[in-house]
Structure 1
Amino acid sequence: MSNEEIEAVVVGGGQAGIAMSEHLSRHQVPHVVLERHRIAEQWRSQRWDSLVTNGPVWHDRFPGLEFTDLDPDAFAAKDQVADYFVAYAEQIAAPVRCGVEVRSVRRNTGRPGFRVRTSKGTIQTRYVVAATGPFQRPVVPPIVPERDGLTQIHSSGYRNPAQLPDGGVLVVGSGSSGVQIADELRASGRQVYLSVGPHDRPPRSYRDRDFVWWLGVLGKWEASAPPKGAEHVTIAVSGAHGGHTVDFRTLADRGITLVGRTDSFQDGVMRFAPDLRDNIAAGDANYLALLDEADAYVARNGLDLPEEPRARVLGADPRSVTDPVLELGLADAGITSIVWATGFTVDYGWLEVDAFDADGRPKHQRGVSSEPGVYFMGLPWQSRRGSSFIWGAWHDAGYVADHIAIQRNYTHYKGTGSSTPVPRFGK
């Protein structure tokens, strides 16, 4: 077991950790990136087989490297994304150590910095960046007891339809993951029920521009916080099949039965909230409002972008919306599996510092935590709406690295009359 000193330790070798390494190197901060598995491991082993990015590769990348093997408007497959980050780490010579698990981080007593205990030894460091991101612990609501005999799997554990036993599937969650998984299961011949909660539903493309472009020129990526009451609203958008606008009416036409938000389960019967119509209507309103803003932007700037009147044509509501299913006997419906596309929560049990609220969520301002010397990277809405995207993490890392550089200037200052040396790390 080794012992060493280095000025900064970045925990996590995914997109957030690699971005952090690039910006720390820009400031010439000696550092190491510790990754318990492989670089970008979550992209490889915690995603389903057919997953692609939700944004085109011209947009979902770091500034210093393009996806050279893909058309700029294409959507990268999960392994292509992982390979991209491996290549990026090599390009910037990121000091990544794979196969190193961080077991605890504690503040030192009587000296500056932190003691980082890992599976390969102990590291003394001045700054710790928790770059493990938001996808740490899958959230499965405690609704259906395991003893009930249903196969229950979180979206992070789903790989393909063949993984599930024969029979129908209930997919809970109407964000990108839930929609794409439900569509894939239906295409495989399964009977599928999709539980639809509150969501935003942007157009995949409108007037010859992807929705990521529209959110950019309309300034929506820069929103600093979600609208009140919409903290947990998901985005229903898909890069699958070359990218398409998610329309729940189309999913219903393909044979998927839409139901409202999953509410409770008892004696083999699942109950759904009577909110399906309202959730679909709110998604439609979000969709049409973005079209309005896009049209206004085109007119205001005199752009020559083709009109697209059919984009505003919404089909008739399917029967599952007009006559909603509020109770469903799962056995009677032939449902043998539930896929919970219900998101994740953070898990910072290894970070033993005073940087969390009563619910275990990081207390921070743009990644700068309430505990001096501790930083967070890769969080949703860390600084803006775009923080969840690959490019957003890169820009957030720049801000955090700038803050570390400023603090280094203070800690390295000795004073004109001082004879007491200031401890330096990573000499």
Structure 2
Amino acid sequence: MHDYVSWLRHSSPYINAHRERTFVIMLPGEGIAHANFTHILHDIVLLHSLGVRMVLVYGARPQIEARLKAAQIASNYHHALRITDARTLACVIDAAGQLRTYLEAQLSVNMAASPMQGAKLKVVSGNFVAAKPCGVIDGVDYQHTGEVRRVDAEGIQALLEQRNIVLLPHLGYSPTGEVFNLACEDVATQTAISLNADKLILFTAEQGILDEQQQLIRELKLEQAIEHAQLFEQPNVSALQAAISACQHNVSRSHIISYQIDGALLSELFTRDGCGTLVDHGHFEQVRQAGVEDIAGLAALIRPLEEQRVLVSRPQDLLAQEYANFTVIERDGLIIACAALYPFVEEKTAELACLAVHPDYRHGGRGDTLLEHLENQAKRLNLNSLFVLTTRTAHWFQERGFEPCSIEQLPQQKAALYNYQRNSKVFRKSI
């Protein structure tokens, strides 16, 4: 019970942040066929109930393969893209149509004691995606395989405003009445771009993007993602390329998560570190000056250290007066580290104070990041040294170039306020 209550409390900022946002979710056919699909559907319904506007793009590769096998039609690919001849197109349309009916049926469930109870979802699909043929590439005619030409963003937005879930298949239509088989990644990406969506969420078999040691990469800034996509092949490189394309066209964030993990969608959206890979513009974690809106976050961060007497007590009313002296590291809306700089301009020095890092983030070099930031800030003020008073972290500062000094070497105003009962050690560093 305690874990549930704690999780719900910590998820409330995300509930507020996601309300009335637009998410495009790509679910491949493998995900629909997986045993975890029902849980994914329940999580999508939960998002809808929390006010998220959703477009669900679905694929059907294994379902198409099953129909081709039954019809004894060979599957032909070139550059990982299906070549769709007339006979194959019939199987593609059949698979897409049956999946659409199945998804609509599953989203209509309203059974007692079910996660779907009382949802009363409205699901809408239609000819929102205009397509064009891929044509001939490397001498290979892709026939009825196409690519997205245009997405009817205005029509989709109108339906989202009416609280519909918009369901888009991996099919596109031409002004001449032709039907084209599209990659679901292409449909999802172009839809997210056209809608200026807040998030593109891509379900894959893998947990996310893995490094060369097969370890999950939690976050990739756009530039890192581009470099990573060029380094080596991996199973979900198409999802990474889709995430990159979306972010290059101003979709704020793309998430790559696994359809095999129960609760992956909720964990990714309602916990700070998620469970997949986030691709963004680099604003997920940032160093910035504190503002008045950060006072409560600062107080929550430093309170445990005050209680342990590691830091001098700073009541919230004092923080309200001094917040402008603070630099913070913000991670997805949470203040995870802070430090303050108090200049003594006449003495050409400054006090570095109240350096604190959230316990969950103490091994990522954030203390060093803050120290470097404040050193640069002091240099811009034409100061030539920093000093610090500490009772518990003397070695940390000494390892970074601070040297012991006497109380008498402090600025006179600071020396007069020295607390002999606390007996802090004093260190100084030239900059």
TM tier, smaller: under 0.3
Larger Rg computed on CA atoms:
2
TM normalised by structure 1 equals 0.24
The structure whose RCO (Cα within 8 Å, separation 6+) is larger is 1
